[in-house]
Chains A and B, each alone.
Chain A
Amino acid sequence: MNSTVSYSISVFLALALHAGIVAVLLLNWEDQHQIDVQEIEKFYIDASVVAENPYRARERRESAARENQRRQRIAAEKKAEAQRKARLKKVEEQKALAAEQAAQQEAEEMSRLDQLKAEQALAAEQAAAAEQAAAEEMSEEERVRLEQSLALAVLEEQEYRRAVTDDEKAMAYVAQIQREIIQNWSRPPSARNGMQALLQVRLVPTGEVVDVAVKESSGNDAFDRSAILAVQKAERFVVPTDTRQFERNFRVFEVLFRPEDLRL
């Protein structure tokens, strides 16, 4: 066999072989490597901050007071309305009386018609004036009331918004604290599912733990101690720099330790 011929055939075969392998790889790659990726999500420990939010309590109290005020105001308005009605009635009565008198006078004395007419007109005018005054008084009162309620609503709205964003921020910090505590918590062998210990933690504004106390014991000393140790080991938590928020949520808070992943 001629050597150049054999070489060219060999080159062709080698190229074909490589092309074939690459093609097979490309075609099969997608199918072969379908790996089901399963998100494994497990939360073993639940150490949640269960402190009653003092701000929320205050807010509730405030809203109750506001509600009370509103009720009182409505009652007062009702009273004013009743008064106004009574006044109107009186005016009408007066008018009717005047008209009656006028009729009497008309019947009695036709000669004093002009005078009477004038008197009648006067009476009518008076009545109209009284009515108008009453109406004006009412509208003024209503306007003030409306303005007040509007301002109140705006204030309420603002307050609510701030509370929501504050709460959201606080939640992020709470999650961070939770993570840290969970990381530091090593449970004793005597820990069982269903045990729970409530701890009260006091912080200073830099986030350092100054005091940890058992508020509700789990009934197992080792378990309580492990919980206290978990908080103490953390030493320092990340807390909001905003003093208002710190005072509201993080000065004193409570932590509930409750293992959920144990087999026993």
Chain B
Amino acid sequence: MNEQISIIELVLNASVVVQCVMGILILASMVSWVMIFQRGFALSSMKRESIAFENEFWSGKDLRKIYLEIDASEHEKMGMEHIFSAGFKEFTRLRQQKETDPDRIMQNVQRAMRVAMSREEERLETSLPFLATVGSTSPYIGLFGTVWGIMNSFRGLATVNQASLSVVAPGISEALVATAIGLFAAIPAVIAYNRYSAQVEIIVNRLNAFTEEFSGILYRSLQRQ
């Protein structure tokens, strides 16, 4: 027997089913890592922007000026900006329509902000379900590949006259590579999923708090009139 089996040989000599499993797992690992990086960037930029917006919001600047700045800016409205602009747009529109009942105005404004809020939440949570799926299923896929490979190598053992470890060992080894790849795909996905869902929750809480505060400010301004 060859004194050393390289991992490449193991993968290339595996049976078709095991190779398919390995391919699926490698693909899943690739995509999940793309998601991990992308989510990482998106969440951190979201956090940064919301902090920047909060600073601007509480700086005592005129709200109308802030709204106009946001409306004029090129880039997509995100997070707090989005909620703020949705609420403020609704507020000004109702004011222009000579709506006088503060409760009805507030209801509409809050509804508009809720819609924006749910949009934001949706955007925050994109691709988190994919990470969860990869994290929970790829060990099973890998295990399937391993079981299949071991099954085959034992079936081969049945036809061999003199059963020795060197007959089954390569088959088992190549089958175990499938489990290894499955775990390799699953572990980062699970870690990233947990971490990102915690971050999303923090951001959503912050957005909720902002929504309440902003509606409070608007309500006060209505009552002042």
Contact = CB atoms under 8 A, between A and B. Distances in A.
Interface in A1-40: 1, 3, 6-7, 9-11, 13-15, 17-18, 21, 25-26, 29-30, 33
B75 to A, nearest CB: 8
Interface of B: 4, 6-8, 26, 29-31, 33-38, 41-42, 45, 184
B53 to A, nearest CB: 15
Contacts of A25: 7
A182 to B, nearest CB: 18
Contact of B33 (A3, A7, A13): A13
17 contacts: A3-B42, A6-B37, A6-B42, A6-B45, A9-B37, A10-B35, A10-B37, A10-B38, A11-B34, A13-B33, A14-B33, A18-B29, A25-B7, A26-B6, A30-B4, A30-B6, A33-B4
Nearest 4 Cβ contacts at the A-B interface:
A10-B37, A14-B33, A10-B38, A6-B41
A13 B188 CA distance: 14
Nearest to B31: A14
A171 B72 CA distance: 100
A24 B19 CA distance: 21
A13 B41 CA distance: 12
Nearest to A18: B30
Interface residues of A, number: 18
Nearest to A14: B33
A14 B4 contact: no
Nearest to A28: B7
A1 B6 contact: no
Contacts of B26: 18
Contacts of A10: 33-38, 41
A85 B33 CA distance: 113
A9 B7 contact: no
A28 to B, nearest CB: 10
Nearest to A11: B34
B30 A14 contact: yes
A17 B41 CA distance: 16
A245 B8 CA distance: 54
A38 to B, nearest CB: 14
Nearest to B45: A1
A7 B8 contact: no
Contacts of B42: 1, 3, 6
A7 B34 CA distance: 7
A1 B41 contact: yes
A10 B42 CA distance: 11
B199 to A, nearest CB: 16
Contacts of B31: 14
Contact of B38 (A7, A15, A17, A18): A7
Nearest to A3: B42
Interface-central residue, A1, A18, A25, by most chain B CB under 10 Å: A1
B33 A18 contact: yes
A230 to B, nearest CB: 24
A109 to B, nearest CB: 107
A17 B30 CA distance: 9
A9 B30 CA distance: 13
Nearest to B7: A29
Contacts of A6: 37-38, 41-42, 45
B33 A26 contact: no
Contacts of A3: 42
Nearest to A1: B45
Contacts of B45: 1, 6
A13 B37 contact: yes
Nearest to B48: A1
Contacts of B7: 25-26, 29
